[in-house]
């Protein structure tokens, strides 16, 4: 007998419609992807501004590689930190309006490093039910008591705040990654201040997308100064890779000493940090505003085409448009049919979302053309009516 039951586990996943596999692509060319001689229009990427394949990023990476080469060789505490990393962090702090910032190899690493560095046994973490896996894992890793409030449920959040012990950290996202709606951020900020808690806001899907210069939801709602810990990724709208935490100087100093995913991990390549510096400038510029307008226009067009088919979306001007179908196998079939028709739209299932809430997750980018969006609308209208 196979004591590990790997085969049985795989069979169960297949039987439940929860099987996942990696699909190799031959080429990614903006929103077009190609494999095995076929091509698809990609409505599944988080490259919201279409920067990932842009000439600006390619040029910056080439310049950076020519100057700084490949890997960085070691953790930043070991060999000394390259000035380019420090300059990127100064740019991120300026962007987010905080005293300081620290960059990590990914958004996931930010959560895993930051939360356990700041809270532990005897403290309390209060999470929105729909928080991303990295926030949940980081909370577990910290050893703090974990409390969860139903999505955006302010009364429950306040009840948990009243009962919480030790240091109290509220954790939420600005735009929820699988639902595309926004946190009730103003109200959450009021509550956490009233009860003397701190707030970690994960702006993964809002940075570059919302707010003046793409600073995010907290900036858009004018509460950025009251958010204690600003977390974000540079892998989505910023088109590259890596994550950041922006906060007070003291918090950043503590993270340099305590965040294990920062301390015990090799610094991201310097040419990447260099290119990210270029991207941060671009995102904040007038060109960034043009890209954001294109993105929001595309999202609005997609929403209005799909509302004809009876699909309802959150009113947030986000680029994540979930079409909730419920049953896992049904949603898989819909996603497969769309792939046959030339559209890459993933089916999101348990455990990423709750069982029975499987969905197609459409993400729009500034690079989609009106024509591509129109044909998506037509296909979806017929797919959803049949």
- Given the rule CB under 6 A, which residues bind ligand PLP? 106-108, 132, 134, 173, 177, 202, 204-205, 233, 235, 243
Identify whether 129 is a catalytic site residue: no
Identify whether 151 is a catalytic site residue: no
Q: Which of 96, 132, 271, 303 is catalytic?
A: 132
Tokens of 275: 């290119």
The helix (run of H) or strand (run of E) holding residue 333 is helix 328-340
Identify whether 67 is a catalytic site residue: no
The residue (of 134 and 247) whose beta carbon lies closer to ligand PLP is: 134
Identify whether 29 is a catalytic site residue: no
The residue (of 134 and 255) whose beta carbon lies closer to ligand PLP is: 134
Q: Which of 177, 235, 365, 367 is catalytic?
A: 177
CA–centroid distance for 162 within its chain:
30
Q: What is the DSSP string of 278-294?
A: HHHHHHHSHHHHHHHHH
| Distances, alpha carbon 157 to alpha carbons 61, 128, 172, 178, in Å | 44, 8, 11, 21
Strands 100-104 and 243-247: antiparallel
The residue (of 316 and 372) whose beta carbon lies closer to ligand PLP is: 316
Q: Which residues contact 77 (CB under 8 A, 6 or more apart)?
A: 256, 263
| Distances, alpha carbon 364 to alpha carbons 11, 253, 262, 288, 292, in Å | 34, 38, 32, 16, 11
Residue nearest to ligand PLP (CB): 107
Q: Kindly state the smallest distance separating residue 276's Cβ from ligand PLP, in Å.
A: 12
Q: Which of 47, 128, 158, 173 is catalytic?
A: 173
The residue (of 42 and 372) whose beta carbon lies closer to ligand PLP is: 42
Q: Kindly state the smallest distance separating residue 240's Cβ from ligand PLP, in Å.
A: 10
Identify whether 12 is a catalytic site residue: no
Q: Give CA–CA dist 332/349, Å, rounded.
A: 9
Q: Kindly state the smallest distance separating residue 350's Cβ from ligand PLP, in Å.
A: 17
Identify whether 82 is a catalytic site residue: no
Identify whether 236 is a catalytic site residue: yes
Structural contact between residues 222 and 196, judged by C-beta atoms closer than 8 angstroms:
no
Q: Which of 82, 205, 303, 368 is catalytic?
A: 205
Q: Which of 82, 230, 236, 303 is catalytic?
A: 236
Structural contact between residues 290 and 49, judged by C-beta atoms closer than 8 angstroms:
no
Q: Give CA–CA dist 266/278, Å, rounded.
A: 22
Beta bridge mates, 128: 149
Tokens of 236: 């989505």
Q: Kindly state the smallest distance separating residue 266's Cβ from ligand PLP, in Å.
A: 16
Q: Kindly state the smallest distance separating residue 110's Cβ from ligand PLP, in Å.
A: 8
Structural contact between residues 244 and 110, judged by C-beta atoms closer than 8 angstroms:
yes
The residue (of 242 and 288) whose beta carbon lies closer to ligand PLP is: 242
Q: Kindly state the smallest distance separating residue 104's Cβ from ligand PLP, in Å.
A: 8
The residue (of 158 and 202) whose beta carbon lies closer to ligand PLP is: 202
Residues taking part in catalysis: 46, 132, 173, 177, 202, 205, 236
């Amino acid at each position: 007998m196979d004591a590990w039951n790997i085969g049985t586990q795989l069979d169960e996943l297949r039987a439940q419609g929860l099987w996942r596999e990696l699909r190799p692509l031959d080429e990614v060319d903006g929103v077009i992807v190609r494999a095995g001689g076929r091509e698809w229009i990609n409505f599944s990427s988080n490259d919201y501004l279409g920067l990932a394949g842009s000439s600006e990023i390619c040029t910056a990476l080439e310049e950076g590689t020519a100057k700084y080469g490949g890997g960085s060789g070691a953790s930043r505490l070991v060999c000394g930190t390259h000035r380019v990393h420090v300059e990127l962090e100064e740019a991120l702090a300026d962007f987010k309006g905080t005293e300081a910032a620290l960059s990590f190899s990914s958004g996931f690493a930010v959560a895993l490093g930051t939360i356990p560095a700041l809270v532990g046994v005897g403290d309390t973490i209060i999470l929105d039910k729909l928080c991303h896996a990295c926030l949940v894992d980081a909370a577990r890793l910290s050893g703090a008591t974990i409390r969860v409030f139903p999505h955006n449920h302010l009364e429950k959040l306040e009840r948990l705040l009243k009962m919480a012990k030790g240091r109290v950290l509220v954790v939420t996202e600005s735009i929820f990654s699988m639902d595309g709606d926004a946190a009730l951020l103003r109200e959450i900020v009021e509550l956490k201040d009233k009860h003397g808690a701190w707030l970690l806001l994960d702006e993964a899907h809002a940075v570059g997308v919302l707010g003046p210069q793409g600073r995010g939801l907290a900036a858009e709602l004018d509460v950025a100064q009251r958010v204690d810990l600003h977390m974000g990724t540079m892998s989505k709208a910023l088109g590259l890779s890596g994550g950041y935490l922006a906060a007070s100087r003291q918090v950043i100093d503590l993270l340099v000493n305590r965040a294990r995913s920062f301390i015990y991990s090799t610094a991201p390549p310097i040419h990447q940090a260099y290119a990210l510096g270029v991207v941060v400038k671009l995102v904040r510029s007038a060109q960034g505003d043009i890209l954001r307008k294109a993105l929001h226009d595309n999202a609005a067009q997609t929403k209005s085409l799909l509302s004809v088919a009876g699909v309802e979306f959150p009113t947030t001007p986000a680029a994540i448009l979930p079409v909730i179908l419920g049953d896992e196998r049904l949603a898989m079939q819909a996603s497969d049919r769309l792939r046959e028709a030339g559209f890459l739209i993933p089916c999101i299932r348990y455990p990423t979302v709750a069982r029975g809430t499987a969905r197609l997750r459409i993400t729009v980018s500034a690079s989609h053309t009106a024509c591509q969006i129109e044909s998506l609308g037509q296909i979806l209208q017929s797919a959803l009516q049949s």
